[in-house]
């Protein structure tokens, strides 16, 4: 085998593989997949009309505005629950798309909610959220929410919770508006 040809191919393949790993795609979650997810595995895509999904664990956290955000209060809406951090590059890239989608789809029953995993808490999150002008509820995890939904093995990780309060999609890695909007439109119209 010609080493220079092999090394050229490896340097071409590695960035592609890393980008696939970093940019997870949304996947529907089944009951069996919930057990896999608890073990840190990703759910397989399934036809959601035939699935029984696990309820998203309820939680209450304080928002940046000092109000309580309780997940169950938003039953009847599609909730995009995003675990992120200020130091996370892919998180920083996806937030503008989330802000745009939240503005476009909030009147159609879609709500974005960000749960920061920053260890420094509001000291880091508040200035970042203000600078970005984030237009959806932002909270700082107290350690319990990520534990209930986890283990969260990648940041960002986004869960899409349907109108019944069930976790229907899990997406480790960065999401774009193009990937997310068709899914949200489908769930909002269901």
Domains, the chain, with CATH or none:
24-188 (3.40.30.10)
Encode pLDDT of 54-76 as tens digits: 999 999 999 999 999 999 999 99
What pLDDT does residue 182 have?
96
Encode pLDDT of 121-160 as tens digits: 999 999 999 999 999 999 999 989 999 998 888 999 999 9
Tokens found for residue 84: 């992120």
Tokens found for residue 5: 């040809």
Quick one: the chain helix, strand, coil %, rounded to 5?
45, 20, 35
pTM, rounded to two decimals: 0.74
Tell me how far apart the alpha carbons of residues 80 and 180 are, in angstroms, rounded to a whole number: 10
| Mean pLDDT taken over the chain | 80
- pLDDT above 50: residue 41: no
- Residue 37 pLDDT grade (very low, low, confident, very high; cuts 50, 70, 90): very low
Tell me how far apart the alpha carbons of residues 66 and 27 are, in angstroms, rounded to a whole number: 33
Q: Which of 3-17, 85-99, 130-144 bottoms out in mean pLDDT, i.e. has the lowest? A: 3-17
Tell me how far apart the alpha carbons of residues 64 and 105 are, in angstroms, rounded to a whole number: 21
């Amino acid at each position: 085998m010609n080493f220079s040809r092999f090394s050229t191919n490896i340097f071409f393949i590695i960035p592609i593989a890393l980008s696939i790993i970093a940019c997870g795609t949304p996947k529907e979650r089944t009951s069996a997949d919930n057990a896999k997810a608890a073990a840190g595995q990703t759910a397989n895509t399934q036809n959601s009309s035939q699935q029984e999904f696990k309820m998203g664990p309820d939680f209450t956290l304080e928002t940046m505005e000092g109000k309580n955000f309780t997940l169950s209060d938003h039953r009847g809406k599609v909730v995009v629950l995003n675990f992120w951090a200020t130091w996370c590059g892919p998180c920083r890239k996806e937030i503008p798309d989330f802000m745009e989608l939240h503005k476009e789809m909030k009147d159609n029953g879609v709500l974005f909610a960000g749960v920061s995993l920053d260890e420094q808490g509001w000291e880091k999150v508040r200035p970042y959220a203000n600078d970005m002008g984030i237009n959806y509820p932002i909270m700082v995890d107290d350690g319990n929410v990520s534990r209930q939904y986890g283990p969260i093995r990648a940041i960002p990780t986004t869960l899409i919770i349907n109108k019944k309060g069930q976790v229907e999609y899990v997406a480790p890695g960065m999401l774009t508006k193009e990937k997310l909007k068709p899914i949200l439109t489908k769930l909002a119209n269901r």
